[in-house]
Amino acid sequence: MSAPRLQVAAERPEAEAGAEAPQPGSFRIVSRIVDWITNDRTQLLNITERVNEIVRRSGVTNGIVHLQSLHTTTAIFLNEWQDALLEDVKAFFESAVEREQYYKHNDPNFSDCERSNADSHLRGMMMGQTLSLQVRNASVLLGTWQSIILAEFDGPRSRSVAVQVSGV
Amino acid sequence: MSAPRLQVAAERPEAEAGAEAPQPGSFRIVSRIVDWITNDRTQLLNITERVNEIVRRSGVTNGIVHLQSLHTTTAIFLNEWQDALLEDVKAFFESAVEREQYYKHNDPNFSDCERSNADSHLRGMMMGQTLSLQVRNASVLLGTWQSIILAEFDGPRSRSVAVQVSGV
Amino acid sequence: MSAPRLQVAAERPEAEAGAEAPQPGSFRIVSRIVDWITNDRTQLLNITERVNEIVRRSGVTNGIVHLQSLHTTTAIFLNEWQDALLEDVKAFFESAVEREQYYKHNDPNFSDCERSNADSHLRGMMMGQTLSLQVRNASVLLGTWQSIILAEFDGPRSRSVAVQVSGV
């Protein structure tokens, strides 16, 4: 599998809440929205470095980084970032929630959705759109083989992930 | 699908922890338990507005709202709240974890559970009973199509969700 | 099913972040790494008491305990801890993600992984390696039937879970 074709990773600065000039040990929250443009209907993007960069710049040494994709037909989760395994991951989604079966959401008699994306909704729901990870020593705590993966289930689209770093 | 028949949504005030009279920027935690009575064995309830109301009243402007259903045969997750799709969601649960197959938990030779609800446990476990969402500008951060859904897998029952809002 | 054969539950003290001598109401974070050695390829461990002990000793009365297994072929989730049900849970994993089918990750033509553990990765990904729970009254908030379960999908191995307690 080729590396995910990440075209855009724009970061929109947002409000910083908390103490204006935080002393060591004082609680603070830093929020960002990060955007990606996807190229395929089903696509996996490794967003680990982008998240870690936000954490490192946040000034938070110990705390939590919370990730929330703002789209129901996406998901965020952890797994090893290995080409062969990523193919298995995509095949798993295809078989766990089949695209080509009857869904009411895809039936114009019951739904005004024109994207025929019931499978995308079910995959996003099964995997979840949020992920909390610990921040230690001013970086994201991850095991050796853990990468943060954003899954696109109904691309190509522009996708936004809200990143919040909180702690001391 | 008709709207979920929400009969009761009682809110039990609980302890507020943190500064007595919080200054802007000081960390605070507000905790509540919200109850629902469900009507069907499998039922989906849209709890978005109830959660948002607690967040708005919490005094937290930026932070996290954590939701925890206190029952193993329930789940909390995000999805679009559309009647046709909700039918597909319920059909997905039926096929991902079939009710009518052999389970040890339903076998009186191995289990004293009289509810025959192994499928309910597996569905609740697969989907998860907790959800963390970001609080921004004193409300729950949600994408355009994201609703917070409480799933009942072994109703009718009375169900409690612990809601905790923390931040500044 | 016999109780999980927990051989080692070593706790490694780590840094405590936050105020040195926290006053009531001041934010604090306590971090620990807890280790287990597993005995079987698929194994379920009840880690509730171990987590609760860390919470009780943390000095945090209200807040969040965040659990993060540092391994992609494990998972952390809630369910009832009943022998018969635990057998059903293991059978569910076997059928939801079959071990004996073709995976690219297990194919030496595409992967240098020698563990043939694609199924373990997919099970860990499906269930998730993180869990946040509320802390109330200086202990983990859990419903009557909710236990915290660490699932091993590629044992026997040594496994580490990062536990972070934060709040006031």
Mean pLDDT, rounded, for B58-83: 98
Residue B107 has pLDDT above 90, yes or no: yes
Instruction: Point out the residue among A84, A126, A145 whose CB comes nearest to the CB of C104.
Output: A84
Residue C74, both tokens: 């494990």
Residue A56 has pLDDT above 50, yes or no: yes
Residue A128 has pLDDT above 60, yes or no: yes
Q: Does C110 touch chain B (CB under 8 A)?
A: no
C-alpha pair distances (Å), A76 with each of A62, A125, B47: 22, 11, 22
Q: Does C64 touch chain B (CB under 8 A)?
A: yes
CA B164 to chain CA centroid, Å, is 12
Paired with B165 in beta bridges are B30, B65
Ranges of chain C whose pLDDT falls below 70: 1-25
For an interface test with C, the pick among B104, B106, B133, B161 (most C C-beta atoms closer than 10 Å) comes out as B104
- pLDDT for residue B13: 59
> In sequence order, what are the residues at sequence separation of 6 or more whose Cβ sits closer than 8 angstroms to the Cβ of residue C168?
B17, B18, B27, B29, C24, C25, C26, C27, C28, C60, C61, C62, C63
Interatomic CA distance for residues C137 and B70, integer angstroms? 16
The one-letter amino acid at C63: G
Q: pLDDT band at B17, cuts 50/70/90?
A: low
Cβ separation A146–C72 shorter than 8 A:
yes
Q: Does B83 touch chain A (CB under 8 A)?
A: yes
| Closest chain A CA to residue B131 | A130
Residue A96 has pLDDT above 80, yes or no: yes
Q: Does C18 touch chain B (CB under 8 A)?
A: no
- pLDDT for residue C17: 57
The residue with greater pLDDT, B23 or B123, is B123
Write out chain B residues lying below 8 Å of C61, CB-based: 17
Residue A57, both tokens: 């710049």
Cβ separation C82–B111 shorter than 8 A:
yes
Share of chain A above pLDDT 70, in %: 85
Give the residue among A80, A52, A74, A61 at the shortest CA–CA distance from A161.
A74
The residue with greater pLDDT, B7 or C147, is C147
Interatomic CA distance for residues C153 and B14, integer angstroms? 39
Q: Estimate the crossing angle of helix A83-96 against helix C118-127, to 10 degrees.
A: 60
* Mean of the per-residue pLDDT values of chain B: 90
As a three-state string, the secondary structure of B128-167 is CCEEEEEEECCEECCCCCCEEEEEECCCCCEEEEEEEEEE
Q: Does B62 touch chain A (CB under 8 A)?
A: yes
- pLDDT for residue A21: 46
Give the residue among B17, B12, B69, B15 at the shortest CA–CA distance from B44.
B69
Write out chain C residues lying below 8 Å of A80, CB-based: 72, 121
Give the residue among A59, A54, A51, A56 at the shortest CA–CA distance from A27.
A59
- pLDDT for residue C25: 65
Helix or strand (DSSP H, E) at C86? helix C83-96
> Contact, C94 vs A79, CB < 8 A?
no
- Match 């001598």 to its residue by tokens: C21
Mean pLDDT, rounded, for A42-63: 98
The one-letter amino acid at A156: P
- pLDDT for residue B110: 97
* Mean of the per-residue pLDDT values of chain A: 90
Write out chain B residues lying below 8 Å of C141, CB-based: 68, 70, 162
Half-sphere exposure of C47 (CA within 13 A, CB side): 35
The pTM assigned to this predicted structure is 0.91
Residue A68 has pLDDT above 90, yes or no: yes
Interatomic CA distance for residues C51 and A28, integer angstroms? 26
Cβ separation C132–B129 shorter than 8 A:
no
Mean pLDDT, rounded, for B117-122: 98
Residue A23 has pLDDT above 80, yes or no: no
Residue A146, both tokens: 């853990």
Give the residue among B38, B17, B13, B33 at the shortest CA–CA distance from B154.
B38
In A80-143, alpha helices (H): 83-96, 118-127
- pLDDT for residue A10: 56
Instruction: Quickly count: other Cβ atoms within 10 Å of residue B68's Cβ.
Output: 24
Mean pLDDT, rounded, for B116-120: 98
> Contact, B58 vs B165, CB < 8 A?
yes
For an interface test with A, the pick among C20, C101, C105 (most A C-beta atoms closer than 10 Å) comes out as C105
Instruction: Quickly count: other Cβ atoms within 10 Å of residue B100's Cβ.
Output: 7
Residue A15 has pLDDT above 80, yes or no: no
C-alpha pair distances (Å), C113 with each of A81, A89, A93, A155, C10: 12, 15, 22, 30, 29
Write out chain B residues lying below 8 Å of C145, CB-based: 71-72
